[in-house]
Structure 1
Amino acid sequence: MFKLRNQRLITAFISIESQTFCSVASPLSVLDDGQSHEHNTPILSTQVQESSFLDPRFYLSALINCKNLQQIKSLHTQLYDDGLLNDLYILNKLLYMYVRYNGVDDAYNLFDKMPERNPVSWSVMIGGFAKAGNYKKCFETFREYIRSGEQPDVYTLPSVVRVCRDRLDLKMGRLVHQIVHKFGLNMNTFICAAIVDMYAKCGVIDDARKLFNMMTKRDITTWTVMIGAYTACGNASESLVLFDQMQEVGIVPDKISMVTVVNACAKLGAMHKAKHVHDLIRRQYRSLDVILGTAMIDMYAKCGNLESAREIFNGMKEKNVISWSTMIAAYGYHGKGQKALELFPMMSKTGITPNKITFVSLLYACSHSGLVEEGLQVFSQMQEKYFIKPDVKHYTCMVDLLGRAGRLHQAFNLIENMTAEKDEGLWSALLGACKIYNHVEMAQKAAESLLEIQPHNASHYVSLSNIYAKAGKWENVAKIRTQMVSQNLKKTPGWTWVEARNDFHRFCSGDHTHSESKAIYEKLDSLIQKLELCGYVPDTNFVLHDVNEELKLGSLYAHSEKLAIAYGIISTPEKSPIRMTKNLRVCGDCHTFIKFVSTVEKREIIVRDAKRFHHVSEGVCSCGDYW
């Protein structure tokens, strides 16, 4: 009987990986026991005694060599026949292999029957449910684990915290944090870093920072998590402050933290910081890998320096589809659609196949450069040549492309006939086009669809209100504003940041909070007088309030863009570029104002708004007044 079992075991091993058993490592060599082993001993050598087949390490080797669930189940049966299902180490390895090959139900059946469990068993099972997306069973098993009286380990807790993060389950996340305190693990760096990340992803950045500040020891992972958290929540400036503090305490940034701070620079558009980070990267690395290099392309492009972005791109030894798509997208939001289209065949020649993101980047580039026919061709080529089914992002680009070109009915028909699920971005693109061409009837349809999807989004009400205001329908404007008041909805305030004296200075419309406010308004008054002598005429159509012309002028002159420019002029060297960021789209009057300023002050003005970049020099904008 013993020989028969051994024969079945030999047959099972051969079926698992026949090539391996010709001349490979001994089963003992796969154990991490710190010993050296022979690597050329045939496993099925006739010299191996029958008793060796009952050595648990032999089974461990076989488990490691399994390639699918059928092989794992076969070995499971053999372990049962040979009476080895009471060995906890083997059971945990078997449990792990089931989870690894997506056999979570089989894993749980095994787990449920285990006569003994240790923290590894619980950790594997909880992680298995998390991996399979069965969050209910994941949390249930975790509760059972806590009730069992076992001390939770540093592997299980971060797994559960990550599930809370991915599901944005703040309530469960706080409960896990309490359990961490209860078991005295609140100072464990690994666990705390996971909780900081969870709080940040759940949108409670203050709680994340509070825990971060309480930690007595912070490793580079914790710093990187906190830096990334601020970037993700929209406070990239604090990310950069933290990055400086990290270096001050003696922690040398690695590539992951470098990528994180590069992303922060990109989000903020901080050119002075981007150059500092680039210098740091140059000193630390001889060459850029594909991840860091791609992040730097994005950083320079979003800081308004397209030339440096292309220089990084050209210097990369290795590029993937994301690198190419990032460079194409950069040309797109800088209004250089033809440049973006020129990159596409170059990418194809390198043998890299475009993906959905590539085509979103191409269509976006066409949209913001008015390349309608080229965009239609790209949209067709994506489906017919590359067999990529368009999703809602591709349709949104096409609606934007057609809408900006005044082909509103064609854009609307595309929406009506599309098979992909419609989202707020799609209808917003149509609503934006309606605003350009004062198409009130279609705007109402777009707004109604938007409000069905997001009934409490104030920006949708504001967009429709602005269209009514532009058409002089003040009664409709009043109704919209009444609706907003009744639902306690508030318009997103417009902010403009200007980069000066190695820092960012923020302004809102009519702002008087800046320490140099008096000088700013004096400069703005003298600047407006100069511009009016050169032919600048304020366009009060962009003041969407039913008030007299004098009040409209006062409101128009105090727009955040104008205040930022005035401060930029008095706080930066003569003839140096002025770099600004706007959280909303630049209004038409401010766009005209900026063009006049570039001529009078002999300055290049680089404006990054919510949709694209405007490079203004000598009275001409890179957008060609098409934005």
Structure 2
Amino acid sequence: MPDKNVNVWTTMVCGYAQNDHAEEALDLFNEMVAEGFEPNGPSLSSVLSACAQSGCLDMGEKIHRYMIEKGSDTEVILGTALVNMYAKNGALVMARTCFDNMPQKNIITWNVMISGLAVHGHAKEALDFFQELEKYNVMPNDSTFVGVLSACCHAGMLDFGRKIFNSMRSVYRIEPKIQHYGCMVDLLGRGGMLSEAEELINRMPWKADLKILGALLSACGSYGNFEVAERAVKKMLMLEHDNHGVYVVLSNMYADAGRWDDVSRLREIMKDGSLKKTPGWSLVGDKD
């Protein structure tokens, strides 16, 4: 295009940011500024999103300083993008400061604070935020509960997690999605409640995916539960029959228990099937 205006540049920056091409979004934003165009609200919120995706805290702080210098109005969308940028980068004090300074907030603003606190190990603070929602008459949505259940997982708060999960339907009329079931399976598994976790998987309205079954298998490895582990492996191989990783985990469990005949049997299966390890598969054993 021979002539571009700020809206054209903003469209491109937004497009890259929304499709997880953070580096390209940042490069375009810098090029836009170098060309003499003054960023508007949408371009600022998009570049902040890119900073959150890429972990580019320095750039995010630079954008924040620019907003202060220009006296930018931190309306809900832009303010939430700023909170999200700081929270994703682990700058939780600044995230909270920006959150508190926002004149208006929506449920997405609350969600990014809850999720940010949970991911960075501040589970109690995340749960406190959730309990504050009622004071401000803000109705949680399904994303809120993903953050809250994740916080319960990090803190090992099994009973509270159960209560929150059950309240989704009974109190908030929100139907749990597969992400919520996944969080609960992880939480139950970490707490050693493997039969309950397996029963929850069997009650799901969807077929369990590799991530959920992997969380169950990982917990079985921690607690030495062979019965549940063998059933989980069987289901995982139905989804991905040449998955080397599940055999390795089960073989290691057998070895730890001194069940060498079972170790040899699995090795023969792997050898006869010419199984190869799935590249990048890291679900099993990932305990945060």
Sort the TM-score into its range (normalised by shorter chain): 0.7 to 0.9
Cα distance, 1:431 vs structure 2: 3.3
Residue 151 of structure 2 corresponds to residue 365 of structure 1: yes
| Pair 1:357–1:223, CA change in 2 (3 A) | same
* Aligned match of 1:316: 102
**Number of positions where the alignment pairs a residue of Structure 1 with one of Structure 2:** 278
Q: 2:41 & 2:140 partners in 1: Cα distance?
A: 26
- Secondary structure of 1:272's counterpart equals helix
Residue 243 of structure 2 corresponds to residue 243 of structure 1: no
Cα distance, 1:286 vs structure 2: 3.8
| Pair 1:421–1:285, CA change in 2 (3 A) | farther
Q: 1:302 aligns with which of 64, 85, 88?
A: 88
- What does the per-residue CA deviation read over 1:412-461, in whole Å, with 9 as the maximum and x for residues that have no partner? 011112335544443343234334445455344334434545x38x8xx3
8 Å Cα contact 1:431-1:463 kept in structure 2:
no
Structure with greater strand percent: 1
Q: 1:492 & 1:395 partners in 2: Cα distance?
A: 23
8 Å Cα contact 2:87-2:112 kept in structure 1:
no
Cα distance, 1:403 vs structure 2: 0.8
Residue 48 of structure 2 corresponds to residue 262 of structure 1: yes
* Aligned match of 2:76: 290
* Aligned match of 2:258: none
Residue 266 of structure 2 corresponds to residue 476 of structure 1: yes
Query: What letter corresponds to residue 467 of structure 1 in structure 2?
Result: V
| Pair 1:240–1:441, CA change in 2 (3 A) | farther
* Aligned match of 1:418: 204
More divergent stretch after superposition (290-299 vs 471-480): 471-480
- Secondary structure of 2:95's counterpart equals helix
Instruction: Give the TM-score of the pair, scaled to structure 2.
Output: 0.82
- Secondary structure of 2:90's counterpart equals coil
- Secondary structure of 2:155's counterpart equals coil
Query: What letter corresponds to residue 491 of structure 1 in structure 2?
Result: P
1:331-342 map, 5 Å: 331-342=117-128
Residue 273 of structure 2 corresponds to residue 491 of structure 1: no
Aligned CA-pair RMSD: 3.0
Q: 2:71 & 2:11 partners in 1: Cα distance?
A: 22
- What does the per-residue CA deviation read over 1:40-90, in whole Å, with 9 as the maximum and x for residues that have no partner? xxxxxxxxxxxxxxxxxxxxxxxxxxxxxxxxxxxxxxxxxxxxxxxxxxx
Q: 1:243 & 1:322 partners in 2: Cα distance?
A: 24
- What does the per-residue CA deviation read over 1:334-376, in whole Å, with 9 as the maximum and x for residues that have no partner? 1222111111221111111112221221111101211111111
Q: 1:448 & 1:268 partners in 2: Cα distance?
A: 37
Q: 1:378 & 1:255 partners in 2: Cα distance?
A: 36
8 Å Cα contact 2:142-2:174 kept in structure 1:
yes
Instruction: Give the TM-score of the pair, scaled to structure 1.
Output: 0.40
Q: 1:418 & 1:490 partners in 2: Cα distance?
A: 26
* Aligned match of 2:246: 464
8 Å Cα contact 2:90-2:116 kept in structure 1:
no
Q: 1:391 aligns with which of 177, 183, 197?
A: 177
Q: 1:290 & 1:382 partners in 2: Cα distance?
A: 26
- What does the per-residue CA deviation read over 1:500-520, in whole Å, with 9 as the maximum and x for residues that have no partner? xxxxxxxxxxxxxxxxxxxxx
- Secondary structure of 1:251's counterpart equals coil
- What does the per-residue CA deviation read over 1:390-431, in whole Å, with 9 as the maximum and x for residues that have no partner? 222221111111111121111001111233554444334323
Q: 1:218 & 1:308 partners in 2: Cα distance?
A: 35
1:59-138 map, 5 Å: none
Q: 2:227 & 2:15 partners in 1: Cα distance?
A: 42
8 Å Cα contact 1:341-1:362 kept in structure 2:
yes
Query: What letter corresponds to residue 164 of structure 2 in structure 1?
Result: V
- Secondary structure of 1:492's counterpart equals coil
| Pair 1:416–1:219, CA change in 2 (3 A) | same
8 Å Cα contact 1:443-1:464 kept in structure 2:
no
* Aligned match of 1:617: none
Give percent identity, aligned residues only.
33
Q: 2:194 & 2:10 partners in 1: Cα distance?
A: 46
- What does the per-residue CA deviation read over 1:515-565, in whole Å, with 9 as the maximum and x for residues that have no partner? xxxxxxxxxxxxxxxxxxxxxxxxxxxxxxxxxxxxxxxxxxxxxxxxxxx
Unaligned runs of 5+ in 1: 1-214, 494-583, 588-610, 612-625
| Pair 1:468–1:422, CA change in 2 (3 A) | closer
Unaligned runs of 5+ in 2: 256-262
Structure with greater helix percent: 2
8 Å Cα contact 1:391-1:420 kept in structure 2:
no
Q: 1:474 & 1:252 partners in 2: Cα distance?
A: 67
Query: What letter corresponds to residue 357 of structure 1 in structure 2?
Result: S
Residue 140 of structure 2 corresponds to residue 354 of structure 1: yes
- Secondary structure of 2:61's counterpart equals helix
